[in-house]
Amino acid sequence: MAQRVLITGQIGTGKTVLSQLFGLQITRDAQEKGVNLQYVHINCRECKGSLFLILQQTISRFHPHFPKRGYSAEEILHVLVQVLDEQNLYLILTLDELDALIRNEGSAPLYNLTRIQEDRPNAPRRLSLICVLREIEYLDSLDPSARSTLQHNIIHLSEYSKAQLLDILGDRVNLAFRVGAVSGDVLGLIAGLASSEGGDARYGIELLWRAGKYADVSQLVEVSAECVRMAASSVYPTVSKDVISSLGLHEKLFLLGVARRFKQTGAVQMSIGDAEEAYAVVCEEYGERKLGHTQVWNYVKDLSAVGVIESRLSGVGQRGKTTMISLSRVPASDLERELIKVLSVGGN
């Protein structure tokens, strides 16, 4: 029996981990019962919000050399069902960061994915969906028929309380630190900081990791409160390391250009035109060909959806109509440093 589940919750509330853990356990249970079931986890943002790429990546789990082009998203959806039928396989497909798919392609992909069974009423229902979404409001932009298929099973993960964060961080401390290296007070400080950032466990874990690194560098036996404060000033909740490293090469280059321009001018905001000029300079430095305006504009939309930058349409006081960009909370120099580091490791 195919199911559709929607998991919602703010950043760092465990949506991805919950679905992955569920996938692991249910695959194990199915194996014990002799049911051929597989769990596939796809991040829609990494697939650039394209249903075609999402399905292509899914098929490649079963046929690693399946051709990468030459057919449409609808065709590949039918191929997927055919593969599942042939291998007598049941699939749980998780679409993480579903907002990227909705933003890019609207209602059609979800409609097609959820209605695939209607063409084959008596065949086994092989495809189940887990959709992971930050804010349920995104569903409002869908048309009613696509929305109705997702509104039955909703799991909302609320933000972690300070006590829960303490539990999570304590667990990580046991795994990664020498006994006694992190005192209860220090742990409480980190949990408090993470709790004030909307119960973001990922932020808390990154703080802990950085504080540990600072303690290592300063050759301390114990992680001090000062290490945590140093870590807190270098980790920004909206821009964590994995967000930066998951960006494409040109997104990184564009962001680097923006960061540098802000550092030079000290302005509050800049127009997309200025940002493009700065991006062109960075492209030259890294020996890359600059991408066109439409692509850059798409990057601005994506980056502001992730929360790295903020963008808004220019209003009174600016001639014409342009997109204005500003950095949310991160100091430009820190963003620049982080990007240069990531770019020097391996670019994309």
Partner 1 sequence: MAIEEVLSSKGRVKILRILTEIGELNISEIARRAGLNYATTNRHLGVLEEHGLVRHKRFGRIRIFRFNEANPKAELIGRLMELWKQTDKSKQSVR
Contact positions vs partner 1 (CB under 8 A): 63-67, 70-71, 75, 78-79, 82-83
C-alpha dihedral over 204, 205, 211, 214, to 10 degrees?
-140
In whole angstroms, give the CA distance from residue 169 to residue 319. Answer: 51
**CB of 111 vs partner 1, minimal distance in Å:** 20
Of 67 and 347, the one with the shorter C-beta distance to partner 1 is: 67
Closest to partner 1 by CB, 40 vs 79, is 79
| Residue among 132, 111, 116 at smallest CA distance from 22 | 132
Q: Name which of 4 and 78 has its Cβ closer to partner 1.
A: 78
Q: Which is nearer to partner 1, 66 or 177 (CB)?
A: 66
- 16: DSSP letter: H
Q: How far is the CB of 149 from partner 1 (least distance, A)?
A: 25
| Least distance in angstroms from the C-beta of 56 to partner 1 | 12
Question: Residue 75 Cβ, how far from partner 1 at the closest point, in Å?
Answer: 5
| Beta bridge partner(s), residue 4 | 129
DSSP strands (E only) in the chain? 4-9, 37-43, 90-96, 127-133, 154-157, 270-271, 309-313, 323-327
Q: Which of 79/181 has CB closer to partner 1?
A: 79
Comparing C-alpha atoms, which of 74, 139, 66 is closest to residue 101?
A: 139
Cβ(101)–Cβ(95) below 8 Å: yes
| Nearest approach, Cβ of residue 82 and partner 1 (Å) | 6
Given CA atoms 277, 103, 43, 199 in this order, what sign does their dihedral have? positive
